[in-house]
Amino acid sequence: MLPRLTHATLLRYAGLFTWAMVGSGLVMNALFVMDASSSPLPAMAFVGPVGAYVAFGVAFWLSTQSLGHQRGRVWPIVLMLAMAASAIAVSALTNSALGAILMMVMAAVVPWLLPGWPGVLWLVVQHLPLTAVFVRTFEFTPLEAVLQSMLYMGMSGFVYVAGLIAKQQAEAREEQRRLNAELRATRSLLADSARVGERLRISRELHDLLGHHLTALSLNLEVAGHLTDGKAQEHVRQAHTLARLLLTDVREAVSAMRGEERIDLEAALRTLVEGVPALEVTLDIESPLPVDDAECAQVVVRCAQEIITNAIRHAQAQRLWLKLARQGRELHLAARDDGVGSDVFTPGNGLSGMRERLKTVGGRVEVSTAPGQGFSIDIHLPLEASA
């Protein structure tokens, strides 16, 4: 069975296949030129078109290596310039419209490299030099050259829309994977919270009802032991002893149930990071790390979710390191990514919500960043709040 290909991979292979087919047109054009020429053509007449053709293929290959996850803004523009210049050079050197076909291939990746209206503007501008090629090569009038360029521009626009749809589908799929991971982590946390809450309720019922009744029974049997004599007194004392033993067993059971009131925070966090797309997350958790309060555990998971979201959407990071450990009487969550960073940092809604959530449990957050050094986030939660 063939492996399941992503939208970006399919787009890449389809573009490379079309680029390879343009190579056959390049060969046919060379054969036509050789037949039409009465004298042997110099080797340089073929080196230029082939070099431009190969340069386009290399630039397209590099631009599709990590569609949607390019770091920085300069490198995608450099690749787009290289592809556009190579396509125009192919048309100019071969006196053909092969460059316009290469621009159609390029149109499929423009939404990934330069999304929005800048990408549409780029698509229009890159076809303008073809009008000069059509005027010189095919002796078109300026109006005819513009109309011919618009024809190829319309076909490139169709390919652009197809690439845009593929990009939106890929983003929706990644968002769905991320939300599913968050849902599984929340479900795991809720299951632990429900389990701990039920054990706590049962332990309280045992202590408040059965424990109090056994204490009253023990006291009454002790009084009865003083008021009776003979064989009846012996049975009363045995019943008193059994009542005390049963009361001791109940207290031990209650203590054991209260001692197991722990939230499995590690399982929730590992479930959260397993479904993160386009980001390699390294999770380091101190073991054992008991957390008693469900609210505290939920705050940690929500903060981790927000950190992962920021690393993907804003930091343009490829790797994220998360470390959760105890520091004295605090729980410390440290996060660091390899994103682009920023020299001017303005907290958004996500970070503001994180601060407000931490404030409710007496925690705090510290953020540091610099250009090219990613983001570092340190979160501190007092353990007293979870005791």
Q: 191 lies in a domain?
A: no
Which residues lie closer than 8 Å to 23 by C-beta, 6 or more apart?
A: 53
User: How many whole angstroms from its chain centre is CA 113?
Assistant: 18
88 and 28: one domain? yes
Residue 331 lies in a domain: yes
- Are residues 151 and 71 part of one domain? yes
Domain ends where: 259, 274, 291?
259
Residue 112 maps to a domain: yes
Per run of 10 residues, the mean pLDDT along the chain (length 387 residues) is: 65 88 81 63 68 92 76 79 91 86 90 86 89 84 88 90 85 75 70 65 66 69 71 70 70 60 70 73 77 74 82 77 83 84 72 81 83 82 60
Helical (H) or strand (E) element with 322: strand 319-327
Of the candidates 281, 327, 329, the one whose C-alpha atom is nearest the C-alpha of residue 304 is 281
Token pair, residue 287, equals 């073991």
Domain CATH for 291: 3.30.565.10
Question: Cα(276)–Cα(269) distance, rounded to whole angstroms?
Answer: 11
User: Is there a single domain that holds both residue 67 and residue 140?
Assistant: yes
Domain-ending residue, one of 259, 281, 305: 259
Both 102 and 145 in one domain: the answer is yes
pTM (predicted TM-score): 0.63
Q: What is the pLDDT of residue 199?
A: 65
Residues 267 and 254 in one domain: no
Domain end position, chosen among 125, 159, 175: 175
Number of domains the chain contains: 3
Same domain for 276 and 372? yes
In a domain, 340, yes or no: yes
Same domain, 95 and 238: no
Are 196 and 262 spatial neighbours (Cβ–Cβ below 8 Å)? yes
Q: Name residue 330's beta-bridge partners.
A: 327, 382
CB 15 within 8 A of CB 31: no
Domain of 253, in residue numbers: 199-259
C-alpha distance across the termini of the chain, in Å: 53
Let me know whether 54 and 146 are in one domain. yes
167 within some domain: yes
273 and 291 both lie in a single domain = yes
- Is residue 304 domain-shared with residue 284, that is, in the same domain? yes
> Which pLDDT score is estimated for 385?
45
CA-wise closest residue to 19 among 108, 102, 111: 102
**Secondary structure element (H or E) that encloses residue 233, with its range:** helix 230-259
Domain identity same for 234 and 116: no
| Residue 180 belongs to some domain of the structure | no
Same domain, residue pair 155 and 33: yes
